A and B are shown apart, each in its own frame.
Chain A
Amino acid sequence: MTQIAPKKLPIEADSHEELLSWRRYFSFSTDHKVIGIQYIVTAFFFYLVAGIFAMIMRGELITPEPDLVDRTVYNALFTMHGTIMLFGWMFPVLAGFANYLVPIMIGARDMAFPRLNAVAFWMVPVFGIMFILSFLVPGGPAQAGWWSYPPVSVQNPTGQWLNGEFIWLLAVTISGVSSIMGAVNIVTTILRMRCPGMSWFKMPVFVWTVLAAQIIQLFGLPALTAGAVMLLCDLSFGTTFFDPSQGGNPVLFQHFFWFYSHPAVYVMILPVFGIFSEVFPVYARKPLFGYKVVAVSSLIITGLSAVVWVHHMFASGTPGWMRMLFMFSTMLISVPTGIKVFAWVGTIWGGKIRLDTPMLFALGGLINFVFSGITGIMLSSVPIDIHVNNTYFVVGHFHYVIYGAIVFGLYGGIYHWFPKMTGKMYYEGLGKLHFWLTFIGTTLNFLPMHPLGLMGMPRRVASYDPEFAFWNVLASIGAFLLGMSTVPFLINMVSSWIAGKKAGDNPWRAIGLEWLLSSPPDVENFEELPIVIAEPYGYGKSEPLTENMG
């Protein structure tokens, strides 16, 4: 990019410097690095909350009978588990990564709109707390699943206007607005704030993938947010958009919902593809194989993601031609994702591999992702989907993507950039323990869901026939193991942040603008804006990345 940004951006630089203590993490800071960490830590809190919900559910499912909690409670738990995991953990934690890393990777001093950035973040605790407080209203929280399909979602058995579903819809709308604000900010930053010399094909793949993901937020989220507002009107204000007994169409909501909520999976996984693409070259000491193709394939995924949503509705009364069309478009997504997978394998091949914790998580995530991709192709095939749609096969596939690939990638990313964010080194032993507990827990928890689905166990059931007991017991043990796996992680993060060894600016000997900064970086990131002269991932070449730094 040729445009030269002003030497010092006019963003309240003074108030920044006053808040250099830990207190700045509890303030309305406009520093993208502070906001990034605020996002990640807040999101992790919600991750633990929703994880506890999952463990109670698995406790219920360890026996076939509904004996641990009432059915209404179970239904509320799976609804809030899915909702909080996605809106409270996934989107915020990814916004956190994008916030922290994008400016320092593209050589910017902050995001394009720092105040908008802070506002978008502070909406997260607001809607997150709304979700949790909805447990206290009469009638309990929403119980219609995270899809919230009408008519179930608008039945409102309490008859009161203040009900769980009402709060749920309001909170989802706020979350949508927050994410749209974040997307506007991130896309603008990437388009307008790149340092001199940072042309498109000098950007790290993480930035490419964040851009691809946030474009989806911009075109997809308005559909979901509008759908949520319409459903809220149906629930509380007597409209009948989706009420079949009044001439409305409940299937229309499914279109609104999936038009965003399928691409949402790419919003989540694309940045994790970015993390993989950053981590593999560092720990294999080789350039990213086929960098340009990997970068561009992210945008191809963005394009295709806009035309696949109906594959969630193959059993919803979808006409045959639509089933076939969306089957094919869904299958096509495997081509650009396949390119990425093979590129990572090519990167590792013949490298000088070091199995530090970030690399372990990236490798585990890669294998899990390939597995989930294969089950994804199976699901896209209409005849097979007709059998396994809405069964545990889908739950297994989805959790392999969301946990096996995405959460693994996020853990890898946290370990990889922890020294940069805190200036401290984490404890490697605890990191490896965390990896193995997580990997075994994931396999034990989510692999048995596939046979269960093939046998015909529907998802969202609080009780099931005894024939399904064996695999459910295994899955429950896996879930408890996963719950425990967060303990070494938390101990590691807290203790090494407080008392860890100093990390140095570039402990991994990695190539990238962020590694030329001090750890943690100064408030303004770059004293002088860098002038980038080389492509990223120049391992094995020993050429300088910039003209004027390091």
Chain B
Amino acid sequence: MKFKTILTLVAIALTLGAISIWVGQLSYSWLPPQASVESQLIDNLFSFLVTLGTFILLGVAGTVTYSVLFHRAGRYDLSDGPHIEGNVTLEVVWTAIPFLLVLWIAVYSYQTYIEMSIRGPMEMAHMPMASSIAPALAEPIDESVQPMTNIEVEAKQWAWVFRYPEKNITSTELHLPVDRRAHLVMRSPDVIHGFYIPAFRVKQDIIPQQNIDFEFTPIRTGKYRLRDSQYSGTYFAAMQADVVVESMADYEQWLAEARQKSPSPAFNQAASEYAAREQKSAKAGWATIVPASPPIVNYHP
């Protein structure tokens, strides 16, 4: 290869690299606020993959565009291009480099995963059902981390109910103290639901008749949205709840307040939509599973 060619290639690679790094930095702004430890880790990994992906996309698209612009056949040119069947060196290179990149991405992803130390149900879903009935709250899985907030989550068609077992409080809004690891035990009586808080970048399916352990650490106060992420039937889209992350003092105060309140029915989007639909004389839709009646809880907004 001529020196000039090498110089051109290097210059192109540097330009593409600069653009890719810029897009990779930009990628943080495509995501919701980083409200948990997990979100920082995931966003860094995502930014890395965006950088790499931009480089590859621009490289391929750039080469194709160059060919289309400069290697066009003339209007009356019926000749063939050069008879090149392949190039072993090139083929080895473009097999080896993607393989190494894949290894790199896999190792980085693995490290991120370990750092997140996700407490999914792990072996639970693949073990005989009997073992999963054992009370999961009895022993926190890892005691080396900070003290935990234990909360029971019930997901049903179509409502979220949160129970704070230590204070015996129920709520339709999830309150969490900031900077403390939250430990959830999630249950579903009917179908599979998905526990998903985009600002925390955490998601876990709740398999019916199982206790699903789940952990994460919120680090930013504010109000976020919890959504059902596993399609659960007619009012799936309406199955949302607010998540409030607050300082320890505010959290304690909220617990105390909630404790004063006697349980009353909360507003439930699915139940109220269903009631409205049933009142109409002309039925617009098809038969549906009847939503659970609005949950009766101590606290609801």
Binding site for B on A (CB under 8 A): 66, 69-73, 75-76, 138-140, 143-145, 147, 149, 151-152, 155, 157-158, 244-245, 247, 249-251, 284-287, 289-293, 315-320, 322-324, 327-328, 331-332, 334-335, 338-339, 341-343, 345-346, 348-355, 363, 366-367, 370-371, 374-375, 377-378, 381-384, 386-387, 389-391, 451, 454-456, 458-465, 509, 538-542
Contact at B121–A317, with CB atoms within 8 Å? yes
Give chain B interface residues in 19-67, CB to chain A under 8 Å: 30-32, 38, 41-42, 45-46, 49-50, 53, 56-57, 60-61, 63-64, 67
| Across-interface contacts of B56 in A (CB, < 8 A) | 370, 374
The interface size of chain B toward A, counting residues with CB under 8 Å, comes to 95
Interface check B297, CB cutoff 8 A: no
**Closest Cβ–Cβ distance, residue A139 to chain B (whole Å):** 5
Interface check B234, CB cutoff 8 A: yes
Other than A349-B71, A370-B61, give 15 A-B pairs with Cβ distance below 8 A. Answer: A71-B285, A72-B285, A143-B286, A155-B233, A155-B289, A292-B86, A339-B94, A346-B90, A352-B73, A366-B64, A383-B42, A383-B112, A454-B31, A461-B236, A463-B237
| Across-interface contacts of B84 in A (CB, < 8 A) | 286-287, 289, 346, 350, 540
Interface check B209, CB cutoff 8 A: yes
Provide a sorted-by-A list of 8 A–B residue pairs whose CB atoms are within 8 angstroms.
A73-B285, A247-B129, A251-B126, A285-B79, A331-B105, A335-B98, A339-B95, A386-B203
The CA-CA distance from A302 to B80 in the complex, in Å, is 34
Looking at B49, B60, B90, B230, the one whose CB has the most chain A CB atoms below 10 A away is B60
**Closest Cβ–Cβ distance, residue A494 to chain B (whole Å):** 30
Looking at B30, B61, B95, B205, the one whose CB has the most chain A CB atoms below 10 A away is B205
Contact at B46–A351, with CB atoms within 8 Å? no
Contact at B198–A152, with CB atoms within 8 Å? no
**Closest Cβ–Cβ distance, residue A205 to chain B (whole Å):** 13
Q: A327-B106, A378-B46, A461-B236 are in contact. Are A383 and B41 (CB under 8 A)?
A: yes
The CA-CA distance from A289 to B82 in the complex, in Å, is 11
- Residue-by-residue, is B207-236 near A (CB-CB < 8 Å gives 1, otherwise 0)? 111101000000000000101111111111
| Across-interface contacts of A316 in B (CB, < 8 A) | 125, 192, 205, 207
- Residue-by-residue, is B240-255 near A (CB-CB < 8 Å gives 1, otherwise 0)? 1000000000000000
The CA-CA distance from A339 to B93 in the complex, in Å, is 10
Q: Which of A145, A291, A460 contacts B85 (CB 8 A)?
A: A291
**Closest Cβ–Cβ distance, residue B68 to chain A (whole Å):** 6
Residue in chain B with minimal CB distance to A287:
B85
Contact at B81–A352, with CB atoms within 8 Å? yes
Interface check B72, CB cutoff 8 A: yes
The CA-CA distance from A342 to B110 in the complex, in Å, is 28
Contact at B277–A70, with CB atoms within 8 Å? yes
Looking at A317, A324, A509, the one whose CB has the most chain B CB atoms below 10 A away is A317
**Closest Cβ–Cβ distance, residue B202 to chain A (whole Å):** 7
Q: Which of A291, A370, A383, A463 contacts B109 (CB 8 A)?
A: A383
| Across-interface contacts of A284 in B (CB, < 8 A) | 67, 71, 81
| Across-interface contacts of A320 in B (CB, < 8 A) | 113, 118, 120, 122
Contact at A350–B71, with CB atoms within 8 Å? yes
| Across-interface contacts of B210 in A (CB, < 8 A) | 244, 317
The CA-CA distance from A139 to B78 in the complex, in Å, is 62
| Across-interface contacts of B202 in A (CB, < 8 A) | 386-387
| Across-interface contacts of A147 in B (CB, < 8 A) | 231
How many A-B residue pairs have C-beta atoms within 8 angstroms? Tell me.
311
**Closest Cβ–Cβ distance, residue B115 to chain A (whole Å):** 9
Contact at A250–B237, with CB atoms within 8 Å? no
Contact at B95–A389, with CB atoms within 8 Å? no
**Closest Cβ–Cβ distance, residue A536 to chain B (whole Å):** 11
Q: A317-B212, A355-B72 are in contact. Are A152 and B79 (CB under 8 A)?
A: no
The CA-CA distance from A316 to B194 in the complex, in Å, is 9
Interface check B2, CB cutoff 8 A: no
Residue in chain B with minimal CB distance to A344:
B64
The CA-CA distance from A247 to B80 in the complex, in Å, is 67
The CA-CA distance from A378 to B71 in the complex, in Å, is 33
Residue in chain A with minimal CB distance to B115:
A383
| Across-interface contacts of A539 in B (CB, < 8 A) | 80-81, 83
Contact at A319–B231, with CB atoms within 8 Å? no
| Across-interface contacts of A155 in B (CB, < 8 A) | 191, 233, 289
**Closest Cβ–Cβ distance, residue B278 to chain A (whole Å):** 12
**Minimum-distance CB pairs A-B, first 9:** A456-B198, A70-B285, A317-B125, A140-B286, A540-B83, A461-B237, A374-B53, A352-B73, A72-B285
Residue in chain A with minimal CB distance to B240:
A465
Q: Which of B81, B113, B207, B225 contacts A382 (CB 8 A)?
A: B113
Q: Which of B94, B121, B207, B225 contacts A342 (CB 8 A)?
A: B94
Contact at B237–A71, with CB atoms within 8 Å? yes
Contact at B83–A541, with CB atoms within 8 Å? yes
Contact at B235–A386, with CB atoms within 8 Å? no
Residue in chain B with minimal CB distance to A154:
B191
Interface check B288, CB cutoff 8 A: yes
The CA-CA distance from A375 to B71 in the complex, in Å, is 30
Interface check B143, CB cutoff 8 A: no
Q: Which of A251, A353, A542 contacts B67 (CB 8 A)?
A: A353
Interface check B204, CB cutoff 8 A: yes
Interface check B166, CB cutoff 8 A: no
| Across-interface contacts of A331 in B (CB, < 8 A) | 102, 105-106
The CA-CA distance from A346 to B87 in the complex, in Å, is 9
Contact at B229–A315, with CB atoms within 8 Å? yes
| Across-interface contacts of B46 in A (CB, < 8 A) | 378, 384, 387
Interface check B7, CB cutoff 8 A: no
Q: Which of B82, B194, B238, B285 contacts A315 (CB 8 A)?
A: B194
Contact at B120–A157, with CB atoms within 8 Å? no
Interface check B91, CB cutoff 8 A: yes
**Closest Cβ–Cβ distance, residue B56 to chain A (whole Å):** 6
Contact at A76–B72, with CB atoms within 8 Å? no
Interface check B161, CB cutoff 8 A: no
Residue in chain B with minimal CB distance to A332:
B102
Contact at A458–B228, with CB atoms within 8 Å? yes
Contact at A454–B203, with CB atoms within 8 Å? no
| Across-interface contacts of B240 in A (CB, < 8 A) | 465
Contact at B120–A318, with CB atoms within 8 Å? yes
| Across-interface contacts of B41 in A (CB, < 8 A) | 383
**Closest Cβ–Cβ distance, residue A540 to chain B (whole Å):** 3
Contact at A323–B63, with CB atoms within 8 Å? no
The CA-CA distance from A348 to B53 in the complex, in Å, is 22
Contact at B102–A139, with CB atoms within 8 Å? no
Contact at A70–B125, with CB atoms within 8 Å? no
Interface check B196, CB cutoff 8 A: yes
| Across-interface contacts of B233 in A (CB, < 8 A) | 75, 143-144, 152, 155
Q: A287-B84, A341-B60 are in contact. Are A250 and B277 (CB under 8 A)?
A: no
Q: A152-B192, A390-B203 are in contact. Are A383 and B113 (CB under 8 A)?
A: yes
| Across-interface contacts of B42 in A (CB, < 8 A) | 383-384, 386-387
Contact at A151–B120, with CB atoms within 8 Å? no
The CA-CA distance from A147 to B122 in the complex, in Å, is 23
Interface check B257, CB cutoff 8 A: no
Interface check B138, CB cutoff 8 A: no
Looking at B49, B68, B80, B289, the one whose CB has the most chain A CB atoms below 10 A away is B80
